[in-house]
Amino acid sequence: MPVHHVVYGLVVRANRAVPGLLSGTASASVDVEMHVGEWPDRPSASPPNDQAWFRSDTPDGEPAALTVWRLDDGGFFWMRYADGTEFLLSQRGDAVWARWAPASTVEDTATYLLGPVLGFLLRLRGTVCLHASAVVVDDQAIALVGPPGAGKSTTAAALARRGVAVLSDDVVALVERDPGWVVEAGYPCVRMRPEAVRTMFDSLDALPLMTPTWDRRYIDLTERPYRFGAEATPLGGVCILDERRDEADLPRIEPMTAKDALMALVENAYTSYLLDRTMRAREFVVFGDVVARVPVWRLVPHADPSRLPALCDVVTRDDRITTGTDDASSAQYA
């Protein structure tokens, strides 16, 4: 019996339930057919290793973390991770197949599927995505943007503990909807690094493991007191997470020029390593429009983890983030 999910604004019909996704009612309109643990008869040949379309950089002698091939004149993308997990995506972004090595599990596979695989599928469908988390404050989405390790998920988790709804973690899908941009809802989970769990919860055992083979833990947003923002929400503001500093008046937000804001969004585009020229061109158009319509700030955290509550205060209480005004006297949270 097929299972229907909704994620990143897409109606997904899967042959089995996908770990981490909420199941919904059957829909006559399906955007993506997902085949978990299945592989199509075509294309049947193994991709030639010497003709990879993309291969991640690795030290000499080590296997690439990710290799991607284009097959059938670009009709399919074959993604293979170093642990043997593989995905096949149609060029139109309307079908995906997944299979994994005996040492892995469907839960392991879902960690790829819900992140870079669906992120790339969204890009194939023309949806521009940020490497970001998004929370809902006063009925507006605030995107927390930054590279791996910047503190996006940690900040989202700290806000979730305060009862703030989390809209998406890791992938923020942007869709234009008059009169501006909305953030599509992701899946009800915030992934956390072990060191962040220890800092926030005192014990690793406070949160469950994502999978038995991975050290990441997660917050289940379907469990009280947490909240999952399950509906697309207007984008009200963007915060670019800066490097942590040891200054007395931190955390704070700082204004950015339009040029710096645009470049920061481009630098934090999701799956940017897999984009072709056409996708890149659309990305510049979308991010340029976002910068023109939505306030973009630099969010500077304090180096001391104990100041994380003050960072949450900035995100939830400083209305400059969504109004775009630069009245520094309106908020002090040090």
Q: What is the pLDDT of residues 80-116, one digit of tens each?
A: 999 999 999 999 999 999 999 999 999 999 999 999 9
**pLDDT of the residue at 25:** 82
Q: What is the pLDDT of residue 251?
A: 97
Cis peptide bond upstream of 148, omega within 30: no
State the chain's mean pLDDT as an integer.
Answer: 93
Amino acid at the residue 275:
L
DSSP 321: H
Query: In a 3-state reduction of DSSP, which class is residue 24?
Result: strand
Tell me the C-alpha distance between 216 and 196, whole Å: 10
Query: Residue 330 pLDDT more than 70?
Result: no
Phi first, then psi: what are they for 106, rounded to 5°? -65, -30
Provide, rounded to the nearest whole percent, the portion of the chain with pLDDT above 90. 84
Which residue in this structure is represented by tokens 């209305």?
Answer: 319
Confidence of residue 327 (pLDDT cuts 50, 70, 90): low
Domains identified in the chain and CATH numbers: 3-124 (no CATH), 128-330 (3.40.50)
Q: What percentage of the chain carries pLDDT values higher than 70?
A: 96
Question: Are 174 and 185 contacting, i.e. CB atoms less than 8 angstroms apart?
Answer: no
Task: Name the residue with tokens 């596979």.
Answer: 109
**Rounded-to-integer distance, Cα 261 and Cα 296, Å:** 6
pLDDT at 331 over 60: no
pLDDT of residue 26: 79
The span from the first CA to the last CA of the chain, in angstroms, equals 54
The answer to whether the bond into 43 is cis (omega within 30° of 0) is yes
pLDDT band of 334, cuts 50, 70, 90: very low
* Helix (H), strand (E) at residue 314: helix 308-317
Find the angle CA(91)-CA(95)-CA(100) to the nearest 5 degrees: 105
- 281: its two tokens: 């061109």
For residue 74, what pLDDT is reported? 79
Q: Which residue has the higher pLDDT, 330 or 232?
A: 232
Which two three-digit tokens encode residue 44? 């049947």
Per-residue pLDDT of 275-285, as tens digits, reads 999 999 999 99
Quick check: 328 pLDDT over 60? no
Asked whether 235 and 180 are in contact (CB, 8 A), the reply is: yes
CA-to-CA distance for 197 and 63, rounded, in angstroms?
30
Strands of 64-195 (E only): list them. Answer: 66-71, 76-81, 86-90, 95-99, 128-137, 140-145, 165-168, 171-177, 180-183, 189-192
What does pTM read for this prediction? 0.93
How confident is the model over 65-80, as pLDDT tens digits? 999 999 887 799 999 9
Q: Name the token pair of 59.
A: 């030290």
CA distance 300 to 333: 12
- CA-to-CA distance for 157 and 137, rounded, in angstroms? 14
pLDDT band at 333 (very low <50, low <70, confident <90, very high): very low
Q: Long-range pairs for 179-183 at CB < 8 Å and ≥24 separation?
A: 180/234, 180/235, 180/293, 180/294, 181/234, 181/235, 181/289, 181/290, 181/293, 181/294, 182/141, 182/232, 182/233, 182/234, 182/235, 183/134, 183/141, 183/143, 183/232, 183/233, 183/234, 183/235
Query: Range with the lowest mean pLDDT among 44-58, 65-79, 115-129?
Result: 44-58
Residue 61 has pLDDT above 90, yes or no: no
Q: What is the pLDDT of residues 128-168, one digit of tens each?
A: 999 999 999 999 999 999 988 899 999 999 999 999 999 99
- Residue type, position 165, single letter: A
The pair of structure tokens assigned to 133 is: 């988390």
96: tokens are 């995906």
Q: Range with the lowest mean pLDDT among 141-145, 197-201, 324-328, 330-334? A: 330-334
Is residue 332 over pLDDT 60?
A: no
Of 152, 146, 187, 113, nearest in space to 270 by CA: 146
Q: What is the mean pLDDT of residues 296-316?
A: 96
**pLDDT tens-digit profile of 196-242?**
999 899 899 999 999 988 899 999 999 999 999 999 999 999 999 99
